[in-house]
A and B are shown apart, each in its own frame.
Chain A
Amino acid sequence: MIINHPILGPRDAQEFVYLGDAALINRPDGMTAGIEAFHDYLYVRDNPAGEHRELWYHEQGDRSWLVVTRNTVTHEIIKVELARDVAKAAGRTK
């Protein structure tokens, strides 16, 4: 696969490490959320046949974490964003 890195352009998927569902961005606050909320956050995942937003890490590159929107059936990559931008847009701060 080829991932079109937002900064570095098209890069071979071999340079990346895959983590999984980009829903991991939405980590609950440990001071307010309880075990149930963290359990769902950590273990309950969608497994769609189709478009999936997922986290990839450019380990053999610039160390950017990316949110890659990929069709799990065709492997077509629809969108690639910096995870930092996605996280900020989702309201994550410090």
Chain B
Amino acid sequence: MSQQNRMSGGQIDRSRTLRFTFDGVSYEGHPGDTLASALLANGVRLMGRSFKYHRPRGPLSAGSEEPNAIVELRTGARQEPNTRATVAELFDGLEAKSQNRWPSLAFDALAINDRLNSFFTAGFYYKTFMWPASFWEKVYEPIIRRAAGLGSLTRQEDPDSYDKGFLHCDLLVIGGGPAGLMAALAAGRAGARVILADEDFRFGGRLNAETLTVGGKPGADWAAGVVDELRSMPNVRLMIRTTIIGAFDHGIYGAVERVSDHLAVPAPGKPRQTLWRIYSRRALLAGGATERPIAFENNDRPGIMLAGALRAYANRFGVKVGERVAVFTNNEDGLRTARDLQARGVDVVAVVDARRDGALLPGIRHLKGAEIVDAGGRLGLRSITVRQANGQTETLDVTALGVSGGWNPNVNISSHRRSKPVWNETLQAFVPGEGGPAGLVAAGAAAGLMSTHGALVSGQKGALAALGELGLSGASDTIPEAEDAPVSITPKWYVHSGKGRAWIDPQNDVTVKDVKLAHQENFTSVEHLKRYTTLGMATDQGKTGNVLGLAVMAGLTGQTIPETGTTIYRPPYTPVALGTLAGRSRGKEFKPFRLTPSHKWAEEQGAVFVEVGMWLRTQWLPKPGETHWRQSVDREVLATRKSVGICDVTTLGKIDIQGTDAGAFLDKVYCNTFSTLAVGRCRYGLMLREDGMVFDDGTTARMDETEYVMTTTTANAVTVFRHLEYCRQVLWPEMDVQLISTTEAWAQFSVAGPNARRLLEKLVDQDISDAAFPYMAAGNITIGGLRARLFRISFSGELAYEIAVPTRYGDALLRRMLEAGREFDAIVYGTEALGVMRVEKGHVAGNELNGQSTALNMGLGKMVSRKKDSIGMVLSQREGMNDPEGYRLVGVKPVDKTATLTAGSHFLEIGAAPVIANDGGWLTSKVYSPHLGCEIALGYLKAGDRKIGQRMRAVNLLAKTETEVDIVSPHFFDPEGERLRG
């Protein structure tokens, strides 16, 4: 029979039927159902297996606090593990599966763990899987992971998209129950910018789950009316299906909006979820309260749930969980469940009331001073054993049981900034404490005001107080009439009975026994209790179990609950999918890169690209017939050294530095001197950090008396600019110097090789003969009237220039240079050939500029001028950094020219054992030099300047390579620099 447990009423749309499956079986439900309510309507109570003992479980709650009914939703790439059936909105075609069971939910092989429970107590893993240590990762952990209950991943890419968004408001109202609705109404009517967010798919909070009236109307109708009015206000944003996940600094809240989770597939162009960052001036926490259970033996049977949840299923979803129902309570609120169910014609067998005082319920068997000592029915509740006040026990046949141990205000968000909740004796619960997030106040049940009237009043009051602080005024409209029952509760945390287990935290299978064991082994502090037993560490963060566990520990230590302590909560309030946190930062969007001006041309040539810093650069350009990258790179190097090669060097950082103090400024930031540089000349500059290590290097040109153009390495373009601004604003604020980054403004090409000048002479309008434009000259020129810059600098060791034009002309310039260079067989080379030529020339680059090297290490110690103050000058003089035995840059050649070198290899003396004590340094960069016909490398070698000519070994224990090498000068190619001055 379909939906045999469906009753009349509730907020579900019976005009439409939704079909869904659970573990392959088809069922029907209606819009307005959750997966849990629809399954319960179909008589399905068993929805999962517990984490450790594989105990059969059904839902405990009707909300986001759910620890038990954890299922997998959907199939294929959209399959999502570990979702709560109690908040999963039903849609047509939903496919759900239980998890942590094999072969089936009703028969689970690993339920053997339950029989072996005496071994699996708290601390079991710590005590058992200790030796040998190497077994943990390889043997124990995989077995435990397979046995322990988490859902499975499909390992397919998530086909949905996730967004991030930003919102601003005067008042953020967290929770759309009576307090939140009243607050939003007051603030909305006053004209404030209001955001009202609720995790549910229907505003109203508990009003949807109760038979209470507000202003003479059913509570849910009143809520719907308020929502209608709020919807008409342009200054109010209603955010349904939106969970405030955390409170952060300065009124910022994180929110997850489940935009499409209630649909089979997101609508075209719509994300699945959106992560909102909400900037609020004030916030009101109206998150309600969560009911907690009372622990007794076998209190985890499917069919045993929170009393308020039993009510919610009946009143909101029109579902009875069982035909014969009992209630176990220690407070007045639990009686509502008995009354509501009885009014709906459900057979209420008994109310087991731990309290001895108070009035009896008319027409119901109301057992005062009684408690439940056991529950029967392995796959679903069949009976309870009641111990009455006189000590007599009696077994009652029931199929559903509602348990209420009182309500915990949802203080979570208020403690995200480490404010500790405080104990309220009347409520027997924690309420928000002092020092919560600035600008946040609590209202309604979250503040410990448990009646509907209390919620309405405090919601309005909280909103008006917040408005007042913002200089806005609102009206104290009449509070609609509502119940104002006081809280009547007698503490009752767990039932002392036999040897069986009574669950506190059902998701992590933490029982009263485990808390007792923790106490016995002296893990009595709350933090130890939590970690030793894993209490509250499951995906529900102990929303139903934490206070209970604390109370049990308090009972054992003889302390009060506040003396025992409390655990605070951390974001997120409920679990958040990693995809939501990532947003659009996936795949290519994870780290965007910039394209160089020559990119389009290079793409046409079939170039191979490489990510360098934030750029995509040409690595090499294969010609037809070249099948190995070395063929292309060798050809590019040889062609450049033979005639002329062009390389896009736009990615180097370029900073324009202007002002009457520009030269003095450069003297401060470079360790060598620039104020004396003549106009129209450039110079290699070395920049240190204040600790004396090399920060960056590059060539800087003086274009005018008061204007310099600095270049930086590609990788450090941003940090150097930041550093220069720091020096200019923070250290020398009176200097007349202005900076602007022009990295993207100029397309810049290196033109290198013996025919570089002949090529450029065909294009530029000025005389660039060696006499007119000598080595290290710089100047503004024109190319057919187009403004350009020319620098005669060389990284390759060849006669070379760097020529720059406004970026939009970069592609055209490259094509014109290649056209003009046809007679010289000009080629374009990529970063690999660039690297080969710089190693051949002995220039340092990223591998040598590793943040741990000094100018002295690089053989550039003489560049550090002591005649002026510059960043890093003083500390570069430290003794340890001037050790004559310290690292020096050397060149390395294999003794056997056919041998290969491995970058990262360590230098060892011939015959020395490969141990740290004998370590002489390491190879930083290795290339194949087509010029020398062998592999060559640069390296840092201890006292390397005195070891030129020695023979050593380059040993790499990881790559298992060892090569005999000759230590040589790092200047392999044209050491006298005749070519670049040519």
Q: Would you give the 0/1 interface string for B681-699, flagging 1 where the beta carbon is closer than 8 Å to chain A?
A: 0000000001100000000
Chain B residues with Cβ below 8 Å from A93 are 732-734
How far, in Å, is A26 (CB) from chain B's closest CB?
10
Identify the interface centre among A30, A31, A57: most chain B CB within 10 Å of its CB.
A30
A87 CA / B225 CA spacing, docked (Å): 59
How far, in Å, is A25 (CB) from chain B's closest CB?
6
Number of interface residues of B (CB under 8 A): 31
Q: What are 18 of the A-B contact pairs (CB < 8 Å)? A: A2-B252, A19-B726, A24-B730, A30-B873, A30-B874, A33-B874, A35-B874, A35-B877, A55-B726, A65-B726, A65-B729, A83-B729, A83-B730, A84-B729, A87-B729, A92-B734, A93-B732, A94-B734
Q: State whether the Cβ of B909 lies closer than 8 Å to any Cβ in chain A.
A: no
| B725→A63 contact, CB < 8 A | yes
Question: Which residues of A from 10 to 69 have beta carbons under 8 Å from B?
Answer: 13, 17, 19, 24-25, 27-31, 33-35, 38-39, 42, 55, 57, 59, 63-65
Task: Across the interface, name the chain B residue whose C-beta is closest to A4.
Answer: B250
| B690→A42 contact, CB < 8 A | yes
Task: Across the interface, name the chain B residue whose C-beta is closest to A30.
Answer: B869
| A39→B726 contact, CB < 8 A | no
Asked if A64 meets B873 with Cβ closer than 8 Å, knowing A42-B691, A94-B661, the reply is no
Chain A residues with Cβ below 8 Å from B249 are 1-2, 13, 75
Chain B residues with Cβ below 8 Å from A25 are 730-731
A68 CA / B878 CA spacing, docked (Å): 33
- In the complex, the 10 A-B pairs of residues with the closest C-beta atoms, listed nearest first: A30-B869, A93-B734, A1-B249, A2-B250, A75-B249, A87-B733, A84-B733, A65-B729, A38-B874, A84-B729
Q: State whether the Cβ of A88 lies closer than 8 Å to any Cβ in chain B.
A: yes
A15 CA / B293 CA spacing, docked (Å): 46
A94 CA / B250 CA spacing, docked (Å): 37
A2 CA / B278 CA spacing, docked (Å): 12
Chain B residues with Cβ below 8 Å from A13 are 249
Asked if A35 meets B730 with Cβ closer than 8 Å, knowing A30-B870, A57-B722, the reply is no
A34 CA / B671 CA spacing, docked (Å): 17
How far, in Å, is A16 (CB) from chain B's closest CB?
11
How far, in Å, is B814 (CB) from chain A's closest CB?
32
Chain B residues with Cβ below 8 Å from A1 are 248-250, 252
A31 CA / B668 CA spacing, docked (Å): 12
Number of interface residues of A (CB under 8 A): 36
- List A residues at the B interface (Cβ < 8 Å): 1-2, 13, 17, 19, 24-25, 27-31, 33-35, 38-39, 42, 55, 57, 59, 63-65, 74-77, 82-84, 87-88, 92-94
Inter-chain pairs besides A75-B249, A93-B734, 8 sampled, C-beta below 8 Å = A2-B252, A35-B875, A35-B877, A59-B718, A76-B438, A92-B731, A93-B733, A94-B732
Q: State whether the Cβ of B791 lies closer than 8 Å to any Cβ in chain A.
A: no
Task: Across the interface, name the chain A residue whose C-beta is closest to B740.
Answer: A63
| B733→A88 contact, CB < 8 A | yes
Q: State whether the Cβ of B664 lies closer than 8 Å to any Cβ in chain A.
A: yes
| B725→A34 contact, CB < 8 A | no
A93 CA / B690 CA spacing, docked (Å): 19
Q: State whether the Cβ of B526 lies closer than 8 Å to any Cβ in chain A.
A: no
| A38→B875 contact, CB < 8 A | yes
**Which of the residues A29, A64, A82 comes within 8 Å of B869, measured between beta carbons?**
A29
Q: State whether the Cβ of B783 lies closer than 8 Å to any Cβ in chain A.
A: no
A1 CA / B438 CA spacing, docked (Å): 12
A33 CA / B875 CA spacing, docked (Å): 11
| A92→B691 contact, CB < 8 A | no
